[in-house]
Chains A and B, each alone.
Chain A
Amino acid sequence: MNETKTNVQSNIPVLDRWNLEIIGIVLVVLFFLVAPFFIYPVFLMKAMSYAILGMSVNLLLGYVGLLSFGHAAFFGLSAYMFGHFAKEMDFGVALSMLIAVSGGTLLGVLFAMIAVRRIEFYFAMITLALAQLVYFFCVQAEFTGGDDGLQGIPRGEILGFSLLENSHLYGFVLLMFLFCLLFVFRIINSPFGEMLKAIRENPERVTSLGCSPRTYKFIAFVLSAFLASIGGALKALVFQIAALPDVHWLMSGDGVLMALVGGIGTLIGPIVGALFIVWAQDGLAEIGMSVVVMQGLLFMATVLLFRKGIVGELGRLKKYFR
């Protein structure tokens, strides 16, 4: 595959990229520590849970070259499960979240068994179709509460900290978010991550080296579903709602869009993308413009004009700092 055919800029030397990623992580941490003093914290928590969804999509798209249009299934199912166990069963935040994330991850195993058999657009279509199946299930199932969804999910407490306190809630979401960020950082800078990138660039070569691309893709998919599930459970915790839009394909599209706008194959791209898109969604809702139209235009503009996304294009400025 020649350079223009690949998804991301991969000419940056490894050590250099690593440093940039650490700088990125530090900036993200600083931003989310300082921002709640200036920005409405619920906005930031929404952005963080969406950013986790974006990161999970990006893990597959940016590092394995697999475009998933089905991540709403994990995000939404986890949100529903969290809501169900926290509200109806009274299991508390920690246990409910554990069950919800396990449920979403298990669903990821099922998806992965089927989806990693095909690549490219077939993979995208399969994930979309499987997620639609989950959507139908959630429409019909009893525990999802139909069109109303699960409302008033209790926040409770975790490790003795009451999450009714907004600063505690923010701290908890931030910690989970940072866990996900470091989790992705660890994956992509491990030998396993190098294998993923090798599969993205040249799967035949990987096969010829005696490794099975499908096994690696399978594991990457499950890890990605795990992340998306965390995002969904956190979203349900913050908004105290789990409803059908969480499992709808538009949500999967949101995940892809955040990765794309922020920068496919960059560590902090999806976070920047999530902040941008959540900001745009809220802004447009105020002036009454269609959010879907804006997102569609954003998709087209990004693909046509700045394919590397915000963070990727900023990376170009790097040469001026040498």
Chain B
Amino acid sequence: MEHFSMMALWGQLVVGLINGSFYALLSLGLAIIFGLLKVANFAHGALFMLGAFSALLMHRYLGVNYWFALVLAPLVVAAFGVVFERLALRRLYHLHHLYGMLLTFGLALVVQGVVLDRFGASGASYPPPDLLRGGLDLGFMFVPVYRLWVIVAAIVVCACTWIVIEKTKLGAYLRAATENPELLKTFSVNVPLLLTATYAAGVGLAALAGVMAAPIYQVSPMMGADIIIVVFAVVVVGGMGSISGAIFTGFGLGLLEGVAKVVYPEAANSVIFAMMALVLLFRPAGLFGKET
């Protein structure tokens, strides 16, 4: 019995790390977009779903394999993001922030509605690539290789993003534009282009997460809506202020959710929301946020 529950705990911790990987990737993208554009991108979940769907459709109709999809799907979604930012989102920067949120909420409804209309609600499964099939015996537990890959890949992507933003010249521009876009313009940096690129990169990250999620979850039109609400709670807990904060909170809350599945399964899908309420009561700015 004791042994069994330890096995269950390890198993759920891995599941928690998997979910945490997606929370981290998505809240990272949200934080990058928000930092520069001051837009809470409501369409993030829908674009995550679009990433998974593009991978599925490319596989089904064009025979594109997982590894190419991992590159192509984010590019497709990023291109979509560029068009959306240039044609629509850009017009709202001078207005109250809430309009950006309303616009992206509309986009989320459209994207989800169109996919739902075309492909139905049930969804489909996406086969993991041959290279990552099978499982690995770690001695104390058995883990599917694909899941390990997702955790490692998510950590690497998060680390790379952090390095790009904190340690490179491009990242320095980004941080400068976050602090004072007007001043940066006088240094002849193309700030509007920077904004477009940032939005594209953020939604590209969401699509990348979507492709990674495709072999694990059922690829369905509502997969993004379900996860984005949780990710919003993660963002509230972590605060949008810091990149590393978003990453740590994502993984941490994923793990917490995993533990809850063992300890008290009925409340597992509520635990992140409950955590959010607790953090708001005792530390309203969020764990890593600046006081506003």
Contact = CB atoms under 8 A, between A and B. Distances in A.
Contact of B102 (A128, A256, A290): A256
Given A253-B105, A293-B117, A296-B108, A114 B277 contact: yes
Interface residues of A, number: 45
Interface string B75-115: 00000000000001001101111110111011111111110
A292 interface: yes
Contact of B117 (A61, A65, A290): A290
B270 to A, nearest CB: 6
Contacts, number: 124
B11 interface: no
B229 interface: yes
Interface in B204-259: 225, 229-230, 232-233, 235-236
B280 interface: yes
A299 B42 CA distance: 12
B273 interface: yes
A130 B99 CA distance: 22
A295 interface: yes
A117 B284 contact: yes
A306 interface: no
Interface string A1-39: 000111100000000000000000000000000000000
Contacts of B230: 129
- Which of B95, B113, B276, B281 has the largest count of A CB atoms less than 10 A from its CB? B113
Contacts of B108: 296
B5 interface: no
Contacts of B32: none
B188 interface: no
A144 to B, nearest CB: 16
A132 B229 CA distance: 8
A304 B94 contact: no
A211 B48 CA distance: 43
Nearest to B225: A249
B273 A260 contact: no
A114 B114 CA distance: 35
Contact of A133 (B96, B105, B117, B273): B273
A129 B232 contact: yes
Q: Is the interface of A mostly helix, strand, loop or mixed?
A: helix
A282 interface: no
A6 B96 contact: yes
Interface string B169-203: 00000000000000000000000000000000000
A129 B232 CA distance: 7
A166 interface: no
B276 A299 contact: no
Contacts of B102: 67, 256, 260, 299, 303
A282 B91 CA distance: 32
Given A129-B236, A297-B106, A121 B113 contact: no
Contact of B105 (A119, A129, A291, A299): A299
B47 interface: no
Contacts of B112: 292, 296
Contact of A122 (B107, B236, B266, B270): B236
Contacts of B99: 303, 307
Contact of A129 (B225, B273, B281): B273
Interface string B33-65: 010000010000000000000000000000000
Contacts of A69: 105
A7 B98 contact: yes
A202 interface: no
Contacts of B284: 117-118
Nearest to B103: A303
B245 to A, nearest CB: 14
Interface string A136-149: 10001000000000
Interface in A58-86: 61, 65, 67, 69
A299 B272 CA distance: 29
Interface in A68-127: 69, 113-115, 117-122, 124-126
B136 to A, nearest CB: 34
A117 B102 CA distance: 21
Contact of B113 (A67, A132, A292, A307): A292
A175 interface: no
A164 interface: no
B90 to A, nearest CB: 10
A126 B103 contact: no
A166 to B, nearest CB: 34
B266 A4 contact: no
9 contacts: A114-B280, A117-B281, A119-B292, A129-B229, A129-B233, A291-B113, A293-B109, A295-B113, A304-B88
